[in-house]
Chain A
Amino acid sequence: MITYIIRRLFAAVLLLFIVSAAVFAIFYLVPRLVGATPETLATRYVGRAATPETVNLIAHKLGFYDPVWMQYGRWVKAIFVGADYDAGAGVEHCPAPCFGYSFITHQPVWPDLLDRIPVTLSLAVGAAILWVIFGVSTGVISALRRGSVLDRSSMGLSLAGVSLPIFFTGLLGLTFFSYRLGWTASGGSYVPFTENPGEWFYDLLLPWIVLAFQFSAQYARLTRAGMLETMGEDYIRTARAKGLRERNVTVNHGLRAALTPLLTIFGLDFGLLVGGAVLTEQVFSLPGLGKYAIDAITNNDLPKVLGVTMVAAFFVVIANLVVDLLYAVVDPRVRVGT
């Protein structure tokens, strides 16, 4: 098991390097295919009054005249040993791991990422707990009460959840629950858990519910389908015949067997969400990785794009590793490392 985990972590690191190299290549090599030069690249990072001399200066400062492999090597080196940055009035040292300085704000990227990871984690974990509890329990009840009004209405609600885009439900939620009724926090409200847990909870309640509404639909339907399949199996009939309580039969035998596909989906969903719940953070103006990513991409800010991509890739990889380990827990037939 330990060897398996170590092997997977090594593979993760290799993957992160491949992803970063790909991002570098896309940023620098693709524009060259359409005739971009270091100066035309630099025009994005100067003001509208910039002279050709300023454009040249910035192209030099940002390293656009250096070969791509050299710029990439410099970036990788900074992650391990840090880098120095000319802030004008003095030279600043960016300690390792240094993910560079934003082309736009001239601020180091790593502290920004550290600041934003807890926000996205808070959003993702809270929403995940809600959507798993409600999604799975709805799916179980629907499967057990197949064809009932409860089954139909919950599946109908699930359809709404998966169909309605989050920028619709989110803004609607804010309008009604925050601004008209005053039950939940306004957009842009976020207080770190360590500062005020009560306010942290209040600020995230509506984003959790809206995000969970969208995801739980999928889980409800998957659970229902899985349960319907497993509850018809012979071993369920055997379990009942042995005199086990219905709750025992449903949860330990029925639900457990239906969990495997749910785990797979959960791993993907959670990993991607932690990498950046872009739309949710955008709608609720939460200062997380998703919002950071949007701003980075819109501004063509390579260091930020690289930073957020690395973090997102890392979380996707870790989430999938955890899911693979959980398979062994859920399904005794699975042996990790084989």
Chain B
Amino acid sequence: MIRKTRVLVAATAVLALGLTTACGGSKDDSSSTTSAAKPEFNGALSKIYNPSDKKGGTIKLANSGDWDTLDPGETYYGYSWNFLRLYGRSLLTFKTQPGDAGNELTPDLAEGLGVPTDGGKTWTYKIRSGIKYEDGTVIKSADVKYAVLRSIDKETFPNGPAYFEQFLNLPAGYKGPYKSKGVNTDSAITTPDDTTIVFHLKQAFGGFDYLAQLPQTVPVPEAKDTGANYKQHVVSSGPYMFDQNNLGKNFSLKRNPSWDQATDPIRKALPDRYEVSLNVNADDIDNRLLSGDLDLDVVGTGVQPAALGRVVGDPAIKAQSDNPILSRLWYTSINGTVAPLDNADCRKAIEYAADRTGYQTAYGGPLAGGDIATTILPPTIPGYQKFDLYPAGADNTGDVAKAKEALTACGQPNGFSTNIAYRAERPKEKATAESLQQSLAKVGIKLTLKPYPQGDYFSQYAGNPPYVKNNKIGLATNGWGADWADGFGFLSQIVDSRVIRETGGSSNTSVRDPEVDKMLDTAIAETDAAKREAQWSPIDKKVMEDAYILPGVYAKSLLIRPKKLSNVFISQAYSMYDYASLGVA
């Protein structure tokens, strides 16, 4: 018996030792990399990490879900727009440079930025000559016109952006080239020759260049367009073309032999191949990134909670990460249609009383959650100016005295009760609602938490004005990420009262100020970029004076930097690694 016990103890010890050894190191230790650069935290945030012009190799990426779509006419996710630059060239694109330069537009398919005339109602672009599709066919301006028009068919492409429908002077009832065959669309887009394209708008829009950078301007050859099936084989105009495409599983890109470096000052096209796996377990992606088995999590929104602890707790792993600010704000809408929040002072009481630190903690703290926000515009938006109309005390936990003053001013000295809506599937929003419930209770504002399914949150609940009024939803957790880092892209959908529909569905659930609408119209029409940018912050301030929005955090993400790649840097335009610049070290 004693002999058997000794054997058992010895076996256990050996097993424990073996496990410890296995735990202690990996086949590809995090402290060793194949690149020459020294790993450091935020090493790729505002400079190029491991610069190199070395060609060759394969970059491996994975997506925890399905790709939204590879069709440039319908895709609507930042990571897809970022990646699309490998197989498609839009009229303009963002500069492939680190820092603020990454937010600047530069010509891609076009020779230069758009030339506005007619007060900004007409925009002309000249296309570079000699750029070809993967099959050697020369790209013409008519292909860009066709690409934009097909994207307007929302029955075939219901998920894409709707900016062109909004701004182009399309014929009444136009449904796109499939259903409105033969309809003359020169009122919206003309192509006087093979290298010129002219857009005609319904109203002046100074920021049209931002529309010209949308993937919807990536040329599509009409003869090879298969409608909803075009995503199975998108005809490339970029340095890479599709090699294999197994929808829902994986796809790969190989070099496009018809791409000419001489026509492309933006891309170096260093790797030979890209391999993308879809529907990969998100936690497994993080493990593979840390072990070096995978180069990139293509979605680029940051590590999962399980890996977060490892990244934060281990200096060696933290040195292999970057922490960019996104063009995204997590906030809470304060609805003026629900009494007593129809009184601005009552809304201001909420602004003063809210625990900003608690809000930040609810979202994951300063590293994974974001920076405490005091404005609606995040710092990444050109024109952003820092201000704080409702200081929350030295520790940012809320100014109870000021809040009580505001409550007295609005005739509710003892506080009031209301409901706060949040998306039930989002633990961070629940934590936010709970944090606000606690901090507002200090001044007598009693919040009752109301969870709603995220699929119908805007259409039926928090974003449905009759529902909000009838169910007294005074507050609603919310969030917005700009389609592009510009004041129009950020503000138009969340502070313009005209986007609010009685049938529900808009992200703006609370801001109703005709003066803000007028300020937006003026800014949108301004064609001078510097003058336009200077107008966004005053709009931000006006909405904050109205106290219709309680800013929470400027979102940040924590990304694991690829170990084996070169030219790694964060693109400020996409708030993730710039996919068009990478090489294999």
Interface residues of A (CB under 8 A from B): 35-36, 39-40, 43-55, 57-58, 61, 86-90, 92, 105-107, 112, 149, 171, 174-176, 178-182, 186-188, 282-285, 287, 291, 295, 300
Residues of the B chain whose Cβ atoms lie less than 8 Å from the Cβ of A55: 505
Task: Tell me if B158 and A46 are in contact (CB < 8 A).
Answer: yes
Most buried by B among A44, A106, A295: A106
B160 at the interface (CB under 8 A from A): yes
Within 8 A of A (CB), among B133-172: 150, 153-163, 165
Question: In the complex, which of the residues B69, B162, B287, B293 contacts A49, with contact meaning CB atoms closer than 8 Å?
Answer: B162
Residues of the A chain whose Cβ atoms lie less than 8 Å from the Cβ of B154: 46, 50-51, 53-54, 57-58
Residues of the A chain whose Cβ atoms lie less than 8 Å from the Cβ of B62: 188
Residues of the A chain whose Cβ atoms lie less than 8 Å from the Cβ of B279: 188, 285, 287, 291, 295
B26 at the interface (CB under 8 A from A): yes
Question: In the complex, which of the residues A50, A53, A54, A179 contacts B293, with contact meaning CB atoms closer than 8 Å?
Answer: A179
Smallest CB–CB gap between B178 and chain A, Å? Answer: 5
Which A residue sits closest to B11, measured CB to CB?
Answer: A153
Which B residue sits closest to A149, measured CB to CB?
Answer: B4
B35 at the interface (CB under 8 A from A): no
Which A residue sits closest to B483, measured CB to CB?
Answer: A49
Smallest CB–CB gap between A32 and chain B, Å? Answer: 13
Smallest CB–CB gap between A287 and chain B, Å? Answer: 5
Task: Tell me if B161 and A47 are in contact (CB < 8 A).
Answer: yes
Task: Tell me if A88 and B281 are in contact (CB < 8 A).
Answer: no
Within 8 A of A (CB), among B54-75: 62, 65-66, 69, 74
Within 8 A of A (CB), among B271-302: 277, 279-281, 283-284, 287-288, 291, 293-294
Task: Tell me if A175 and B76 are in contact (CB < 8 A).
Answer: no
Smallest CB–CB gap between B440 and chain A, Å? Answer: 30
Which B residue sits closest to A92, measured CB to CB?
Answer: B229
Which A residue sits closest to B153, measured CB to CB?
Answer: A88
Smallest CB–CB gap between B466 and chain A, Å? Answer: 12
Task: Tell me if A171 and B287 are in contact (CB < 8 A).
Answer: yes
B10 at the interface (CB under 8 A from A): no
Residues of the B chain whose Cβ atoms lie less than 8 Å from the Cβ of A40: 456, 459-460
Complex Cα–Cα for A308 and B218 (A): 36
Smallest CB–CB gap between A91 and chain B, Å? Answer: 10
Render B548-564 as a binary contact track against A, CB cut-off 8 A, 1 for contact.
Answer: 00000000000000000
B6 at the interface (CB under 8 A from A): no
Task: Tell me if B76 and A285 are in contact (CB < 8 A).
Answer: no
Which A residue sits closest to B26, measured CB to CB?
Answer: A180
Task: Tell me if B280 and A285 are in contact (CB < 8 A).
Answer: yes
B247 at the interface (CB under 8 A from A): yes
- Known interface pairs A54-B158, A88-B176; 17 further A-B residue pairs with C-beta atoms within 8 A, sorted by A's residue number: A44-B455, A47-B161, A89-B230, A90-B227, A106-B228, A171-B287, A174-B284, A178-B293, A181-B22, A181-B27, A186-B288, A283-B284, A285-B277, A285-B280, A287-B248, A295-B65, A300-B455
Smallest CB–CB gap between B413 and chain A, Å? Answer: 39
Question: In the complex, which of the residues B161, B288, B459 contacts A179, with contact meaning CB atoms closer than 8 Å?
Answer: B288
Task: Tell me if A52 and B501 are in contact (CB < 8 A).
Answer: yes
Task: Tell me if B76 and A179 are in contact (CB < 8 A).
Answer: no
Task: Tell me if A88 and B459 are in contact (CB < 8 A).
Answer: no
Most buried by A among B8, B154, B229, B280: B154
Task: Tell me if A287 and B249 are in contact (CB < 8 A).
Answer: yes
Instruction: Name 12 interchain pairs, CB-CB below 8 A, sorted by A.
Output: A35-B460, A36-B460, A47-B74, A49-B160, A86-B155, A112-B248, A171-B283, A171-B287, A175-B287, A179-B293, A285-B277, A291-B279
Complex Cα–Cα for A176 and B22 (A): 7
Question: In the complex, which of the residues A36, A50, A171, A295 contacts B158, with contact meaning CB atoms closer than 8 Å?
Answer: A50
Interface residues of B (CB under 8 A from A): 4, 8, 22, 25-28, 62, 65-66, 69, 74, 76, 150, 153-163, 165, 176, 178, 225-230, 247-249, 277, 279-281, 283-284, 287-288, 291, 293-294, 455-456, 459-460, 501, 503, 505, 507
Complex Cα–Cα for A187 and B297 (A): 14
Which A residue sits closest to B8, measured CB to CB?
Answer: A149
Question: In the complex, which of the residues A43, A88, A106, A295 contacts B505, with contact meaning CB atoms closer than 8 Å?
Answer: A43
Which B residue sits closest to A177, measured CB to CB?
Answer: B22
Question: In the complex, which of the residues B230, B459, B507 contacts A43, with contact meaning CB atoms closer than 8 Å?
Answer: B459
Residues of the B chain whose Cβ atoms lie less than 8 Å from the Cβ of A105: 66, 69, 247-248
Task: Tell me if B225 and A187 are in contact (CB < 8 A).
Answer: no
Complex Cα–Cα for A36 and B225 (A): 36
Which B residue sits closest to A58, measured CB to CB?
Answer: B158
Question: In the complex, which of the residues B66, B155, B158, B226 contacts A90, with contact meaning CB atoms closer than 8 Å?
Answer: B226
Complex Cα–Cα for A305 and B161 (A): 27
Complex Cα–Cα for A105 and B156 (A): 11
Residues of the B chain whose Cβ atoms lie less than 8 Å from the Cβ of A47: 74, 76, 158-162
Complex Cα–Cα for A57 and B153 (A): 10
Residues of the B chain whose Cβ atoms lie less than 8 Å from the Cβ of A50: 154, 158-159, 162, 505
Residues of the A chain whose Cβ atoms lie less than 8 Å from the Cβ of B249: 287
Complex Cα–Cα for A45 and B455 (A): 10
Task: Tell me if A49 and B161 are in contact (CB < 8 A).
Answer: yes
Complex Cα–Cα for A34 and B150 (A): 37
With A174-B287, A187-B281 known as contacts, the answer to whether A58 contacts B228 (CB < 8 A) is no
Task: Tell me if A43 and B456 are in contact (CB < 8 A).
Answer: yes
Task: Tell me if B158 and A187 are in contact (CB < 8 A).
Answer: no
Most buried by A among B27, B280, B505: B505
Complex Cα–Cα for A332 and B27 (A): 56
Complex Cα–Cα for A180 and B156 (A): 46
Residues of the A chain whose Cβ atoms lie less than 8 Å from the Cβ of B69: 105
Complex Cα–Cα for A287 and B281 (A): 11
Task: Tell me if A89 and B225 are in contact (CB < 8 A).
Answer: yes
Residues of the B chain whose Cβ atoms lie less than 8 Å from the Cβ of A88: 150, 153, 155-157, 176, 178, 227-228
With A43-B459, A89-B178, A174-B284 known as contacts, the answer to whether A180 contacts B22 (CB < 8 A) is yes
Residues of the A chain whose Cβ atoms lie less than 8 Å from the Cβ of B281: 171, 187-188, 282-285
Smallest CB–CB gap between A187 and chain B, Å? Answer: 4
Smallest CB–CB gap between A171 and chain B, Å? Answer: 6
Complex Cα–Cα for A87 and B287 (A): 39
Complex Cα–Cα for A282 and B279 (A): 8
Complex Cα–Cα for A251 and B157 (A): 63
Residues of the B chain whose Cβ atoms lie less than 8 Å from the Cβ of A180: 22, 25-27, 291
Closest 6 A-B residue pairs measured CB to CB?
A88-B227, A89-B227, A88-B156, A47-B159, A187-B284, A179-B291
Complex Cα–Cα for A90 and B228 (A): 9
Complex Cα–Cα for A48 and B154 (A): 12
Most buried by B among A52, A171, A287: A287
Complex Cα–Cα for A214 and B226 (A): 46
Smallest CB–CB gap between A63 and chain B, Å? Answer: 13
Which A residue sits closest to B460, measured CB to CB?
Answer: A40
